[in-house]
Amino acid sequence: MGLCKVIGVTRSRCARERRDHNRPMEFVRITAILVRQHSLEPDAAALHSAQTPEHPEDYQAVLVCALDDDRELVRGEWMGYLTFGDQVRPFAMHGQRVVFGSGPQGRWESNLAEVPVATGAVFSFGDHHGRTVWTYEVRSVFSYGHLH
């Protein structure tokens, strides 16, 4: 019995995952700055405030991960951190899920896995309720090298 059957995934998904793991990967450090924070009122679907930080360099997102040939995140669990002035919040990212510690306040989502990573690319982090969204712009992508 194959591993795909044991873990209960479809053959096509298993083949895709096997193909993805055999593709060349570039390991990188992505550094982005906060360009806008959007807040939604808890009981309304309309945007009630959007703030641009006065010193965006004090609000960074840093992620160490692997990119495929299309400059998209390779499936896996990647580590990073956010800075909010003097505060540093480490996180783990797996697909769209971003985890800061435990509890519901520590579960966020991101669309970074859906966009090609390059300087100038824009992506967002949001709380699991969708009430607050932080939008970041990639400022640098530092390559550690390729793994074949």
pTM of the model: 0.75
Q: How far apart are CA 120 and CA 8, in angstroms?
A: 39
Q: How far apart are CA 32 and CA 10, in angstroms?
A: 36
Phi-psi category of residue 120: left, alpha or beta, with phi > 0 → left and psi -120 to 50 → alpha: left
φ, ψ dihedrals at 46, nearest 5°: -100, 145
Q: Count the helices and strands in the chain (H runs, E runs).
A: 2, 9
Cβ–Cβ < 8 Å for 26, 69: no
Q: How far apart are CA 140 and CA 32, in angstroms?
A: 7
Q: How far apart are CA 82 and CA 32, in angstroms?
A: 9
Residue reference for tokens 């010193």: 55
pLDDT tens for the 148 residues of the chain, in order: 343 343 344 444 444 554 555 677 999 999 999 998 887 655 444 444 556 777 778 899 999 999 999 999 998 899 999 998 888 989 999 888 888 866 666 788 899 988 999 999 999 988 766 678 889 999 999 999 987 6
